[in-house]
Amino acid sequence: MPDVVVPIVPAAVLFDLAIGSSLVRPTAQWGVRAASEASSEPVASGNIGAGTGATVGKLAGPLFATKGGLGSALLALPNGTKVAALVAVNAVGEVVDSSKGAVVAGVRGTEVGTYRSAVDIALGLSDEDGPIGSNTTLGVVVTDAPFSKADLQKVAEMAHDGFARAIRPVHTQFDGDTIFAVSTSAKDNSAAAGSDSGEMLNSVGVAAAKVIEQAILDAVNAAESLCGCIASQDW
């Protein structure tokens, strides 16, 4: 039935009940407040929204985890197209700054400022072992490019490269990593977008991976220690 519109709202959640009281539940009033405070101002980062109870580096158990959070990033392409990302970082692995090759948040070591290799622990090269728990890093990529649903699916696929560059190990059986991609364009998002549509899709996909990576770093760098979970800025 071509005239029937079925409203479908994709959604995802992360498990954060290990931080603070697990008895606290969101209420309708929370939703009203969130909607009333929505604005065009820059998105806050760190311990806010879905990032409040987020943690990373849990391969040696929660006692050695580092605080995760909510992060965002924006990139403008030379042709004016914008690509942005918002990520709630709640990963079992560690977060790495690929430009420096350094761990910025992860499995905390015995000395302040040090981290144990999450990859080595996952490979069984370390004696450390602990309850890993439930983890999910959630991201959304937003662009003003007029893409079709199939195009946006490709953007979401390419955006996962940002997860791989910033989190290790990533996409494990202990993670529910998910990225959504949407377009804010009011133009016709048909597949026939012109002869350069493939080039534009490629550029936006590459940019999507970049902003996802930057948003992950923003999340852990802005996070603050909470309920006994130490943030990287305090470590």
Counting Cα atoms < 13 Å in the Cβ hemisphere of 219 gives: 40
Residue 195 is predicted with a pLDDT of: 41
Residue 7 is predicted with a pLDDT of: 82
Query: Model-level pTM?
Result: 0.90
DSSP per position, 139-168:
EEEEE-S---HHHHHHHHHHHHHHHHHHEE
Give per-residue pLDDT as tens, 86-141.
Answer: 999 999 999 999 999 999 999 999 899 999 999 999 988 877 666 677 789 999 99
Calpha distance 125→131 (Å, rounded): 17
Q: Any residues with CB less than 8 A from the CB of 224 and at least 6 apart, and which?
A: 46, 47, 67, 231, 233, 234
* pLDDT-flagged residues of the chain (< 50): 191-195
Whether the CB-CB separation of 158 and 209 falls below 8 Å is answered with yes
Give per-residue pLDDT as tens, 135-145.
Answer: 899 999 999 99
